[in-house]
Chain A
């Protein structure tokens, strides 16, 4: 056994490894569902290869991996930028929740969510397709360039009328920001996830695609079946009853985002 392994303080080493392991585990949990996990899985291979290459004296391969590892932090930040941002926002959200600063807004927020649920139910009953996006901490400005500006109070009637088949802005999504319906007819990025069910159409794929990029919540009403789905973090929950949708929205939508 190399001397340096005997020199190290065992307890401190174990503590060190466990701490780093915990940080990595939290990071894994953060990115588990995304393709970024595959990048993270390659790291043990890269590190092992580097050590073996250095030990064997493979100068060029060592140089290549050395430069890669030197820039690793920067590379990881670029790859995981959305996940890091999401994590930071979740810390912020957690601390804000503890202060209780938004407690007084609960009622108004609940009324807004009720309007959304009623709108989804109405669209479902009429078999009108609908795509309702609720902005949270991450801005949706990038996805609003194509849409039509509305800036109105959120009511179920307004949403239902936007998604009427003969409405000029029924194609695309409506966006709700700070408790107001600000935009309609917005086009969202489609998901490239091959694991998404084949029977899901463009509307559902757009909802999944958007939530893979930002922390917004999306309600989708299928034009074909009238079923209501809820999408968050790239995950879709299908065939929801209005009561179940209300329950999810209340759990997921912080009152601050609705104001």
Chain B
């Protein structure tokens, strides 16, 4: 007896059972709590006139997220971004820290850590004035 003959008496029923089992597995797996690193997109705002942030400044960081996998997936699809206010910076090396508290996760997800914890930027004088990046 080949596989086709073996499955034929209740093929649809077996496939439906398999589908339902796979969906149940997906449901259970997606509801399990997990942690994942999600890229954190950083944008700079209110850059003082006459300054520019050098290329090479960290544009993309990562944030450690904890929560049900389905919500982590949602968070990943939605993305995480931070807008850093540079209105107080001056020319030269500047470190920015503690901005993770301003990040807003989707309901049910927690941000536990931002990596790197400190951002170092190097604003320098530019020929043209600009208010944003």
Q: From residue 40 to 58 of chain A, which have CB atoms closer than 8 A to chain B?
A: 40-41, 43-44, 47-48, 50-51, 54-57
> In whole angstroms, what is the CA distance A4 to B30 when docked?
9
Interface string of A45-81 (1 = CB under 8 A from B): 0011011001111010000000000000000000000
> In whole angstroms, what is the CA distance A29 to B17 when docked?
10
Task: Let me know if B19 is at the binding interface, CB within 8 A.
Answer: yes
Which residues on B sit within 8 Å (CB–CB) of A18? 21
Which residues on A sit within 8 Å (CB–CB) of B22? 17, 21
* Chain B residue nearest in CB terms to A20: B21
Stretch at the interface among B39-47, B70-78, B93-101, B124-132: B70-78
A3:B36 contact, CB within 8 angstroms:
yes
Interface string of A12-26 (1 = CB under 8 A from B): 010011101110110
A44:B13 contact, CB within 8 angstroms:
no
Given A28-B13, A44-B19: A51 touches B26 (CB 8 Å cut-off): yes
Query: Contact size class for B?
Result: 20 to 34
> Nearest Cβ distance between residue B74 and chain A, in whole angstroms?
5
The dominant DSSP class at the A interface is helix
* Chain B residue nearest in CB terms to A5: B29
Which residues on A sit within 8 Å (CB–CB) of B13? 25, 28-29, 32
Q: Which 6 A-B pairs have the closest CB atoms?
A: A21-B21, A25-B17, A20-B21, A24-B17, A47-B23, A21-B18
Beyond contacts A2-B73, A28-B16, A48-B23: 19 other A-B pairs, Cβ-Cβ < 8 A, are A2-B69, A4-B32, A4-B34, A4-B36, A17-B21, A21-B20, A21-B21, A24-B17, A25-B10, A25-B14, A29-B10, A32-B13, A40-B20, A44-B23, A47-B26, A47-B27, A51-B26, A54-B30, A54-B74
